[in-house]
Chain A
């Protein structure tokens, strides 16, 4: 079966711009979470969505936002990009009552 699909795989943006990343979960998965991974900060939780509602949010500024659609696909948006936003952004999905999350391969964002 298809895994978690993240698009695009790589992205280069200029400081001050905004960016939208997409995540298609495994069919039937309704929980979607987003993570930011950088060499210095490790893998940090951004937010979690279930049935189009944000259930949990990590400690990130308001420039980071997300949403989930009725088909469980999710997007995250980062506005007014900063150099420090350069990172690997990972999406993970799960069945509502399951324990294990399946991660995508991520989107590598570079801000110049």
Chain B
């Protein structure tokens, strides 16, 4: 599975959009990009996934660059409850080691 690189931490003001980047320059053509988040002491929660096209669901939007070497998770209106560690994974969450992720802190 391809490795991913994420910034260790980010802050976001409540109500504003949170944009979390992820680099995955060694991604293979058939590998998906997955995003999960983990709120303190709970198991990770699946957010969204994508292959080539941008994706949106009730939780977030996923923007994947045309060369597929990077992606951005967008939380359109961040709330305090979105404070968590966000993980970007390439391949399959069922067999991938999660990196250190990005700790997103949403501030009032």
A residues adjacent to B (C-beta < 8 A): 4, 31, 33, 35, 42-45, 48, 55-56, 58, 90, 92, 94, 99-106
Contact = CB atoms under 8 A, between A and B. Distances in A.
B34 A99 contact: yes
B43 interface: yes
Contacts, number: 54
B30 interface: no
A75 B97 CA distance: 20
Given A56-B95, A100-B93, A105 B100 contact: no
Secondary structure of the A contact surface, majority rule = strand
B43 A45 contact: no
A92 B45 CA distance: 10
Interface in B24-57: 32, 34, 38, 42-46, 49
Contacts of B94: 31, 33, 48, 56, 92, 94, 101
CB-CB nearest 7 A-B residue pairs: A103-B43, A100-B46, A43-B98, A56-B95, A33-B94, A101-B93, A45-B97
B43 A33 contact: no
B65 interface: no
B9 interface: no
B7 interface: no
B97 A43 contact: yes
B99 interface: yes
B49 A99 contact: yes
B83 to A, nearest CB: 18
